[in-house]
Amino acid sequence: MTLTTTQKQRIMVTGGAGFLGSHLIDYLLGEGHSVVAVDNLITGRLANIEHLANEPRFEFMELDICDAFDPGPVQYVFNLASPASPVDYHAHGVETLKVGSYGIFNSLDVAKKYGAGFLQASTSECYGDPEVHPQVETYWGNVNPIGPRSVYDESKRFAEAATVSYRRYHQLDTKLVRIFNTYGPRMQLNDGRVIPNFMKQAIRNQDITVYGDGSQTRSFCYCTDEVDGIVRLSRSAEELPVNIGNPGEFTILEAAQKIIEVTGSTSRIIYEALPQDDPKQRRPDITKARTRLGWEPKIDLETGLKLSLEYFKMAVAKEAVAS
Ligand code: UDP
């Protein structure tokens, strides 16, 4: 079963109270589908879905997908559940490994039971600290299996293996999206990722903490572009992994300077220790997404930061009131 445009379907989104999950849900509801969001709220937040409280086509189930569960009949499953920021997956290392192993089997079994299509949210972390640049989907990666990032990287790599095995052995219609550094409104202010950290610091005119010398690169994709790519993939015939990310590549130092500019901040940049195994470079090769899905990101970093500014200002103000 694929995600249709004509028929209204009931769709499950795990990790639905997460930043990206909630944007995907808004999109699906906007197309007229019904959505059941599943989340155990270890890193997801009810604030991300509270605007849907009176939406009759939306349901929320608070549960941990590591235990077998049954959301009732669904025609499509988007499996996004997992801590995703380095700070979060370090804090919840065992849970991260479990959601990519026990959790994915339970989600796959829901899809199998109801004959639903299945899309697994994978990640550029599958490429580890890549020796091939830009990263093309056929590259197998360079991952330290016992390093501090391994709880996330190996969880996601295992989840890819589980997903393709359900295609091979159970004929499930599966998709794999490799997501590259996505950002935008609803990101948790304190999840430790570079965009929320720098936005928060810049809005408060505090020092901006660049780890290492800031020469490591990332390619940042705005959330609505990411959702568009994910939905196109779910409607495609593409069985193998597809990178969905913005190929605009920036050093972390450039990202800091851009954020200072966009926020009009007086912050200075300071340098702190580089975390172990921090990937030196990251940029998606999106030839496949371009040619097979007709997908192209539309929002460059500066525009995306401007679109996110009001949200981050509000989040900073809320935190100041709460403390
Ligand atoms: N980073 C940084 N300062 C911060 C947070 C992150 O310099 O306050 C760097 C981090 O070392 C990495 C990059 O920004 O090189 C992206 O980090 P993030 O945690 O957003 O995600 P990653 O891409 O490493 O999974």
**Does residue 80 have its Cβ closer than 6 Å to ligand 1?**
no
What are the distances in angstroms from CA 10 to CA 57, 113, 201, 234?
9, 14, 41, 14
Mutate to test the pocket of ligand 1, among 187, 194, 209 (most ligand atoms within 8 A of CB): 194
Task: Indicate if 152 belongs to the active site.
Answer: yes
**Does residue 210 have its Cβ closer than 6 Å to ligand 1?**
yes
pTM of model > 0.75 = yes
Catalytic residue (choose from 76, 89, 127, 152): 152
87 Cα nearest atom in ligand 1: 19
pLDDT at 90: 96
Tens digit of each residue's pLDDT (9 = 90 or more) over 23-39:
999 999 999 999 999 99
The four Cα atoms 185, 191, 194, 197 give a dihedral, to 10 degrees, of 80
Q: What is the pLDDT along the chain (323 residues), one digit of tens a residue?
A: 778 777 899 999 999 999 999 999 999 999 999 999 999 999 999 999 999 999 999 999 999 999 999 999 999 999 999 999 999 999 999 999 999 999 999 999 999 999 999 999 999 999 999 999 999 999 999 999 999 999 999 999 999 999 999 999 999 999 999 999 999 999 999 999 999 999 999 999 999 999 999 999 999 999 999 999 999 999 999 999 999 999 999 999 999 999 999 999 999 999 999 999 999 999 999 999 999 999 999 999 999 999 999 999 999 999 988 88
Strands (E), the chain: 10-14, 34-39, 58-62, 76-79, 117-123, 174-179, 182-183, 208-211, 217-219, 221-222, 242-244, 249-251, 269-272
Which CATH class for the 10-182+221-247+282-298 domain?
Answer: alpha beta
CA pair distance 60, 38, nearest whole angstrom? 6
How far, rounded to the nearest angstrom, does the alpha carbon of residue 42 sit from its chain's CA centroid? 15
Tens digit of each residue's pLDDT (9 = 90 or more) over 145-162:
999 999 999 999 999 999
Mutate to test the pocket of ligand 1, among 252, 260, 267 (most ligand atoms within 8 A of CB): 252
